[in-house]
Amino acid sequence: MSGTKTFKRGEVIFREGDRIQSVYFIQSGQASAQLQRKSPIELMSLRKDHVAGELGLAGQATHTYTLVATSETTLIELPLDAMKAQVELCPPAAKKLIVPLFERNREMQKELRSVRVEKDSTPVPSDQLAKILASVYHTLKHKADRDEKTGQSKISWSLFKNYVQRMFGENPKRAEQVISILVKFGRAQYVLEKPEDDPKAPEEITAIILNDYELLEATAEFWQYYYFKGAKPEFLKTDERVMQVVASLVDQSSELTPDRNGVVHLEFGKFVEGYRAVSGQTLNAEFFGVIEQKGLFIKRHPTDNGVVLQFERGEFHRWLNVWMVLKEIEKWNEKGSVDPNETPFDPRKFQKTTGAGSSCCPACQHALEGAPKFCPECGHKLAQAA
């Protein structure tokens, strides 16, 4: 829609990741272009006569920042397609000048974004997560020595820290926290020894023994693909209930033989009973919509003997492992560090009881407060008490 719009202070004009559909010309007021992280990172301040959304004219599909009004702001919104048509009507000489300016603006915004993110105090900035994981993965893959008999790899602690810093420009402290996540999952262990020059000193890390580090590559690829593709923050945030259901799907289908496409066929009724047996909770078909919102798809095929669930077990297993790493990274951002001795979230463990008088959504089992008409987590319509 086009026209003049006014936003009050604090109102969001558009969000990072939203599709660019309009170009905005600010008439009055002021707005802040921000990266929405644990604490917002301001990229720049836009004022009268400034433009937002113009990267759409350079082929950018989604907004690269969130625009928030910092005072009462009035702007003119014009459809992106109409603006593109206007550019096409320009004389050839003018087009040769305008289009490169748009491209240069996009590159400058990328550089500005990189500078601001580097100064972000968040332990693991979203923009840097894929790089952090990939740096550690490639260091381990290329510099660790593999023992063909045990299948384990080993790398000295000093070599690991020096290589990840010199070759990839990564902070050694962040790299250490990534290794601690592998230790939590039992995929790595620290070798602790006393310093040779001071036998009475406390033990310190001298090497890392690795059982598996491929999970780092899978998580890095997952994040870089969906994050930089402009996925919504809700898509990338982990959901414990979804993880528990997916873990149950993976476990209950472990003995099934997949077809040539890697798809397994699991009876819906059998799955629901199996899930209830381990969790004490009841699922219905609507919950699969919640799973699909996270990017995993299940086909429900009706048969004479009931509904059969069809899904690619290998993909579900891979995503579950990635989610478990992302869950630990979320905790890392909350606490500021990773405790390798802490027990990680286990999607196969359930709390079967809830507090007295509590209720849950029948679709997603989200805890409910009061008597809402719809579940605040999945939107399921709730039956109202008489």
Helices (H) and strands (E) in the chain, counts: 11, 17
Q: What is the largest CA-CA distance in the chain?
A: 80
d(CA 189, CA 207): 9
51 forms beta bridges with: 25
Q: What are phi and psi of 141, to 5 degrees?
A: -65, -40
Options 1.20.120.1730, 1.10.10.10, 1.10.357.10, 1.20.120.80; CATH of 126-220: 1.10.10.10
| Residue limits of CATH 2.60.120.10 in the chain | 3-118
Q: Which amino acid is at 306?
A: G
- Look at the pTM and tell me if it is higher than 0.85: no
Q: Which whole-number Å values give the CA distances from 297 to 66, 291, 319, in the listed order?
A: 30, 7, 12
Structure tokens at 150: 């045990």
Q: Which residue from 213, 204, 165 is spatially nearest to 186, judged by alpha carbons?
A: 213
| Residue limits of CATH 1.10.10.10 in the chain | 126-220
How buried is residue 268: exposed, middle or buried, by Cβ count under 10 Å (0-12/13-18/19+)?
buried
Options 2.40.30.40, 3.30.565.10, 2.60.120.10, 2.60.40.1730; CATH of 3-118: 2.60.120.10
How buried is residue 250: exposed, middle or buried, by Cβ count under 10 Å (0-12/13-18/19+)?
buried
Q: Which whole-number Å values give the CA distances from 323 to 97, 178, 218, 235, in the listed order?
A: 46, 15, 11, 11
Structure tokens at 359: 């209720």
Q: Give start and end residues of each alpha helix (H) in the chain.
A: 80-88, 92-118, 129-143, 157-168, 172-184, 214-228, 233-236, 240-252, 268-279, 287-292, 313-335
pLDDT digits (tens), the chain, 386 positions:
568 999 998 899 999 889 999 999 999 999 999 887 766 788 888 989 999 998 888 888 889 889 999 889 999 999 999 988 888 888 888 878 887 887 888 888 877 777 776 665 678 888 889 999 999 999 999 999 999 888 899 999 999 999 999 999 888 888 999 999 999 999 999 999 888 777 777 888 999 999 988 999 999 999 999 998 888 888 999 999 999 999 999 999 999 999 999 999 999 999 999 999 888 888 877 788 889 999 999 999 999 888 999 999 999 999 999 999 999 999 999 888 899 999 999 999 876 544 444 456 665 556 565 567 777 666 667 754 33
